[in-house]
Amino acid sequence: MLFKVEMDVNVPLDYDADRFDALKQAEKARFQELQRAGTWRHIWRVVGQYSNVSIFDVDSNGALHDILMSLPLYPFMTIRVTALCRHPSSLHDDDR
């Protein structure tokens, strides 16, 4: 199942900088693990914001929920999820 996931990160300004750097490194490692597995298909930055738009390929709603909750920056995120399916007018036979 494909999902568009929009993530906005809002870290308090007084949050410890070293701890935040460690969380960002952990987030990057987790992202790369999921990307290598083919689960986190795409990621794009949103210009001018600490946000991204991503495409996930997972087996179920529950699987996506578990993945999102496992992200180190999850406690600081506002997340919006949209389920996707192939459009019948697409020139491609797959979901690329």
- Least confident segment among 60-64, 75-79, 90-94: 90-94
Structural domains counted in the chain: 1
Q: Can you tell me which residue has the tokens 């070293």? A: 18
Q: Does 93 map to a domain?
A: no
The answer for residues whose C-beta is within 8 angstroms of residue 55's C-beta and 6 or more apart is: 2, 3, 4, 5, 40, 41, 42, 43, 84
Whole domain around residue 13: which residue ranges?
2-84
| pLDDT tens, residue by residue, 18-72 | 999 999 999 999 999 999 999 999 999 999 999 999 999 999 999 999 999 999 9
Q: Does 90 map to a domain?
A: no
Give the CATH number of the domain where residue 29 resides. 3.30.70.1060
